[in-house]
Structure 1
Amino acid sequence: MATKYVPSSAQGAPPARLQERVQELLGQPVVDWRRPDTGLSPALRYLVTLADRSLAFVKAATSLETTGWLRNEHAAMQYVPQFAPATLAWSDSGGDHPLLICEALTGHWPASHAGVVWRPGDLDRVMDALQRLAAIDPPAHLETRQPEATFGWSRIREQPGAFLALGLCSGSWLDAHGTALLQAEESLRRDGSTFVHGDMRSDNICLTGTGPRFVDWSRAGAGAAGTDLASFLPATHLEGGPPPFELAPDAFTWGAAQAAELIARLSDGDELPPWLRRVLRRLAAINLDWAVAGMHLPRRDGPSWAEM
C-alpha cells in the first residue's frame, strides 16, 4: 500500500519522465516546478509555470493505489465542473501511471503555509456550495462510499484504557455518558446516494470570483448528504471558525461517530507522526464537544481542545 501522510514540502524534484509527459501534453516547455504550500498525498503534485507564463497544476499517480484515486478524481471533476478546476490534460495509457493536469485556481485559498484565514462571509459561501453539491445525484461510475467499520463507542466502553489515556475525559464521565454517545453513533445513517467530495477541508478550497472551487476529488462518490459538512466543520473550528454545534446543531450524531473514529485511529496509530497525533486528538475533542452539546450532556471534564 502507498505511504500516506506525505507533505508537499517533502517531495523532491519532478522525475525526468514526468517532465517530458507534461511538456508533451501541454505543447510547450515548463520553465518552473514548485511544490504546493499544503497537502498530504503519496501522489506527485506540482504547480508549474509554462513558457507563456501561464500556470497549471500537475498531479501524477505513483502506485496502484494512487492510480485508482486519480482516476476517480478525474471522473468526479468532469461530472461537476462548476465546483472543480478545469482539466487541461489527462493521460491514462501506455506504461505510465495516470497524469492529471488542471488549471491553477486563482482566488483566496483559506489555507497556506502562513496559516488559515477565513474572511467575513467565506464560511457562508462554502456551506452554500456544499449544500448545492449534496443536491446533485452522483454518476453511476463513481464508487459508493462505504463507511469504515469500527467498534466505535461500544469498543471504547468495553476497553476504555486507550481512550482514557488521551485525556479527553475521566473514567467517571465516560461511565455516565458512554451509553448516550453509543446511541447517537448508532442512530447515524452513514450511507446515501448524494454526491460527496470526501475530503472537505480548508486546504482543498479556493474561493474564486465565481464561487468556491474544490480540489482533491480522489475520494468522491455517493454517500450520505451530511458527509462533507460533517468533516468540514470540526476542522474549521480548529482553524478559528465557530464550533460545529453553532452551525449544525441537529447534526450532532456526526460528532459522536467522528469522535469515535478519530479515537480509534489514535488508539491504533502508533505510526502517526507527533504533529498529526496532536491534530487528531484536538479534532476528537471538538467532535466530542459537538455531540455533547447536541445531546445536552454535561461538559467533558478534560481539557479544552485548545489546551491540548
Structure 2
Amino acid sequence: MSTVQNPPATGVRVPWPDVHPRVRAAVEEFLGGHVIEAVTQDGGFSPAAAVRLRTGGGRRAFVKAVGPEPNADAVRIYRAEAAIAAVLPATVPAPRLLTTFELDGWVALVFEDIEGRHPATPWRRDELDRVLAAVRRMGEELTPAPIDAPTVEERFGDVFRGWRQLLEEDTAGLDPWALRHLAALAELESGWAAAAAGDTLLHSDLRADNLLVSGDRVYVVDWPWACRGAAWFDLVAMLPSVGMQGGPPPHELLPDPDPAITAALAGVAGFFVGQGRRPDPPGLPTVRAFQRAQGVVALEWLRHRTGWS
C-alpha cells in the first residue's frame, strides 16, 4: 500500500440548527417527531448539512440539505441528486430516498439511515477488495442502464478539457512531463468521450467518502453525477483517489491495456490537474487540494499507460 499523504475529503458542513427552520420543521413532520439527536457526517465537500437524525420516537434518517449561500451551484447539484435517487432501482446498493423538500431556496433530501461507515483510509486491502468487487458487480447489474441518464459526454464534456485548456493558459508550475507532452495529451484527451461511451449506468464520482461499508455490504451514496458510459469508467475515475489515499497504484488494480481506457484516463487526469490549478469555489475551500492530489496519481498512471518518456 502507498504511504502518500493526502488531504481529507471533508468540506465545511452546516450544523443541523443552522438549516432553514422551515426545512427542519418539514423534516420533523415527515419523520413524525422532534429531532433529539443530529450527528453531522464530515465526508464530502458540499457546503451543506449532512446529518444522521433521530427523533424522540426513535425514527432515524439521514438528511442532506443545502441553501443558495455560499454556493448556489450546490442547490442545482442536490436537485440532480434527488431526481436520480428517486428512480434508482432497488438493485442499486444505495440508501433509499424517502422524500425531498424545496423550501425558501433550500433543497433537502431524506434518506434511510444506513448503519455503516466510510472505508478506512489509508485503505485496508480487505475493504478495498470488497469495494472493488462491489463496483464491478454494480457495473454488470446496471448494464444496460435501467434508467434514463445523460451520457458521460453530456455530463463531463464541458470540464474534461483540461489539457486542451492548458494549451491556451499559463503553464507555470505544471509537471515537467506533462508540459513536455502537452500537445499529445491534448490530442489524446480529445478522444476521451468516444472512448468512454457505453450503456452502463455509472456513479462517476466514486471515492471513499461516497461509499459506506456495513458488515459484508457496500453502499454507494451521492449520485448527482450519474450518467451512461463504459462499465470500466467508474474505476478509472475512482482509482486516482484510491492511490492518493494509501491504496495500491492504479495500474496494479486496472492493468487492462485497452487504448480506450488510456484516452478516458487522459480526460480524467486533465480534469484533476486543470481544476487543481484554479481558485477555490465559493464555500468549498478544500476541494482543490483534493483534486490536485488525485491529479498527481492520475498523471503518474497516465505516464505509465502511455509509456512516453
Match of 2:4 in 1: none
Deviation at 1:96, TM superposition (A): 7.8
| Number of residue pairs matched by the alignment | 281
Could you say what secondary structure the match of 1:212 adopts?
strand
CA distance in 1 between partners of 2:79 and 2:108 (Å): 12
Instruction: Pick closer, same or farther for the CA change 1:144–1:256 going to 2, 3 Å.
Output: closer
Q: 1:258 — aligned with what? A: 268
Q: Distance in 2 between matches of 1:143 and 1:191?
A: 11
Structure number with bigger Rg: 1
User: Secondary structure at 2:176's aligned position in 1?
Assistant: coil
Counterparts of residues 19-168 of structure 1 (less than 5 Å): 19-62=24-67, 65-66=76-77, 68-76=79-87, 78-87=88-97, 89-92=98-101, 99-110=108-119, 116-135=121-140, 136=142, 137-145=144-152, 146=154, 147-149=156-158, 150-156=160-166, 158-159=167-168, 161-162=170-171, 164-166=172-174, 168=175
SS in 1 for 2:125: coil
Distance in structure 2 (CA, Å) of the matches to 1:47 and 1:90: 15
Could you give the per-residue CA deviations for residues 11-45 of structure 1, whole angstroms, max 9, x where no partner exists?
A: 46233212211121112221122221222224432
Q: What is the CA-CA distance between 1:245 and the residue it aligns to? A: 1.0
Quote the Cα distance in structure 2 between the aligned partners of 1:143 and 1:40: 23
Q: 1:195 touches 1:221 (CA, 8 Å); kept in 2?
A: yes
- Residue identity matched to 2:49: L
Residues 152 and 33 of structure 1: is their aligned pair in 2 closer, same or farther, counting only changes over 3 Å? closer
SS at match of 2:52: strand
Counterpart for residue 7 of structure 1: 11
In 1, are the aligned partners of 2:11 and 2:285 still within 8 Å (CA)?
no
Which runs of no fewer than 5 residues in structure 2 stay unpaired?
1-8, 69-74
Q: Is the 8 A contact 1:44 1:61 kept in 2?
A: yes
Q: Which has the higher contact order (CA 8 A, sep 6+)?
A: 2
Work out the CA distance in 2 between the residues paired with 1:201 and 1:165.
27
Contact 1:190 1:223 in 2 (8 A): yes
| Contact 1:58–1:102 (Cα < 8 Å) also in 2 | yes
Mean CA deviation greater in 92-101 or 58-67: 92-101
TM-score (norm. length: structure 2): 0.78
Relative to the length of structure 1, the TM-score reads 0.78
RMSD of aligned Cα (Å): 3.0
Aligned residue type for 2:129:
D
SS of the aligned residue for 2:252 comes to: helix
The whole-number CA distance in structure 1 between the counterparts of 2:65 and 2:280 is: 26
